[in-house]
Structure 1
């Protein structure tokens, strides 16, 4: 291994503004302009934004209305999760062609242990550059790569190298790299923990590193204090764990105004079930359990679930189960703010003998939904949809001709 990467076998690869970058690839006329992916309307939320939009202060999880006040020239797009999942599959397949030790964290980032790939592809820095080139050539988007001796430092390095960069942090450089960072950069430091640390005068990782572990444990708890003390000194023994299976996937919708009409809820459940089933098919999974989430106007939230006799990826089957779960709640004109549908207990479709269990009707539904998937890939999301979803009754209080806003939640 060359001197430039001695002791560095862990890569963290993170796509830059992933959803927004894929949308710009699909709409090249938007290149170089501020683009926001997320929901419109008063309750829409930003899920991704190009760096042109971020310069105005736009960031993920921000209300879209606020984002547009900060950047009124931005183009807002609703997003296409099936497309993002397809691009993610291709990127993860590239990673696995380099090393079998790939640990996906989400659709757009993963850890790689490249200790066994050196003879074939060069040192970890060369491998990182190779990945960046391949992703750009094959997908038309950029990624950033952190190279280090541990997962924690590699992830911080990829963040520091954004956008479209590569940063190596060798073992001898870890303290110089870590200690000037704000304490909020440490894994496990959320808003509340950061507030506690700042009250103690601990503003940087270096400040925290020089506080006795017992003092930290008294301030933030025994486990958290020990964890943060270790990270502050760059100690992270975790290995890259390959192919962590997906445990669940789903979609949810926050309404523009609170809804008390069961017919509107039913249509939304159908829409969410279709989206969830599309995600299952795009990742090659079936679900054993369907759950719903209902959030009321006062933010009280309840969930209900049901395990299926036969795993499925058919939207109609997910909808039938979700609707039955909702109707069983017996809600009488309750004002509802959000509904969600989730597929849990996922299994690999290729390894599950399900086809013999399906009757002709279920086969027909699945074939129709697969055809809709192909149409969506060619013509865009929503090119083919159930007739019930073509015309929607307006949301109460939103005006007589208000169309349903694009999805306002989800990454």
Structure 2
């Protein structure tokens, strides 16, 4: 599994058409809300300041949600709905997806005011909020970023009610839906000419469908515990690689008027990096991080997620180890004693080391692709930094 990486064809469908640079640079009319955030991203040879980019994206999201909160108050809507989303966004996250989007704009040689790409990048944070809230409902996760998952926090407001869990899940579901609706609305505020706007929405529509299919595959995967590594990688490619790395990059490229070759680069770079990102996340969920910033967890083991880590363990396990894995993995009441036994098997079978080698191979592949790409140097340098962030992800 650590040989040369070959990207699959599936996640590329429909988004590699060349996007011409239009002669007509008139902007489509925007809605009443528009970006007023800083526009310090100057198109120069200076390195891209990712901290500034993150701050700009957060400012765009905050301004957008502040406007939504005011509108909700004026209409007499429950004020806590917007507050739920604002609190969730403030709880953490490295803003990897919007950072990749803005770097994609630079990779395409974006030659207009960078403010045009910020709503596109910021929309990814609202989309990720939707995905994570719903993911936690599906998995009935207790925690997210060290805090009670949204559906659990909302259920706690109904303590003593017979349907507290159902009410909390329903409220979280609707809050997540609103995040999805608003991410689309925010995307529409990007002041792009018609061809670029169409290209952005084409990539975005593809991403939405891919991640939903990936989530569905992930659910089906909890019914099996076997050594099918390719099936586990298939879940990663659609659920994570596309929505975390490949498509956010392509959204920026589309906004910047990138050509077919630059879109293709996003796949050749983004799919292996997205796989490495999820492989690292799987290790962190089970083993935690050496620096203690990420604690070992039980979620994936209790849910019986069909991860590459477990598939490798099943492939290398003896008969007795397979029996123990099948009796422990997927048990809803799995405790730390059982988890420690699973971890020991993952170590003994070489599964943990195997996943580390797969991460390294994919990271190396990303650097090879990057070295051969004809991108502006500032975009190349930023992508090198983000590749490290993705493969050493701890929060």
More helix as a share of residues: 2
Q: When the two structures are superposed, what TM-score results if normalisation uses the length of structure 1?
A: 0.25
Structure with bigger gyration radius: 1
State TM-score, norm by structure 2.
0.25
Greater relative contact order (Cα < 8 A, sep 6+)? 2
